[in-house]
Amino acid sequence: MFTGIIEAEGTIKDIVHDNSNYHITISSPITHELKIDQSVAHDGVCLTVVAIDGSNYTVTAIRETLEKTNLKGWKTGNTVNLERAMKLGDRLDGHIVQGHVDQTGICQSVEEAGGSWYFTFGYDATLSNITIEKGSITVNGVSLTVVNSKADAFSVAIIPFTYEHTNFKNIKPGSVINLEFDVIGKYVARLQALRN
């Protein structure tokens, strides 16, 4: 389980294709704190550390992950948002994040707002995921509050700290991003659907 509070950015050093799997090697400032078999969220995608070599570590993404996330578009040199799994007893500064991406979305616009930014993202509403005004959403692993909720789009307001310390600074109109919708909202929507 994660909180959506990003610890660091990592840089993709290498991607090796192995049948339908991708072995992704990442350099990060938290590598020395990692261990084999540890879960780390990468742009919101929970992946297991399978190897460590100095300041680099490697994770493996399988076909299921590649089909449901933006990982298939990653390239050497890209930066990714990193968060280790939360410790039991830690503060939950963001919201409950599972590291299980529901779908991808596309950045529709970026609007500068006098020192902050509004990012608007569209997504496929036929997959039954929803947002609500002032509800929680995870974009590339970052816990955020929804503004301007619509049936197939929403906006988030990004403060300078988040902009500078995550890969939000690299998101432009047309960028494909990972979305994890609020887990509590997903359960409520599922229960409501079962009652109808």
Domains in the chain, CATH or no CATH each: 8-84 (2.40.30.20), 103-195 (2.40.30.20)
DSSP state of 169: G
pLDDT score of 91:
75
Q: List the alpha helices (DSSP H) in 22-75.
A: 63-68
At 17, list the tokens.
Answer: 């294709």
pLDDT for 148-179, tens place per residue?
Answer: 999 999 999 999 999 999 999 999 999 999 99
Query: What share of the chain in percent tops pLDDT 90?
Result: 82
Tell me whether residue 138 is exposed, middle or buried, using C-beta atoms within 10 angstroms of its C-beta: 0 to 12, 13 to 18, 19 or more: buried
pTM: 0.91
- Give whole-number Cα distances, 130 to 1, 55, 99, 133, 152, in Å: 21, 39, 17, 10, 8
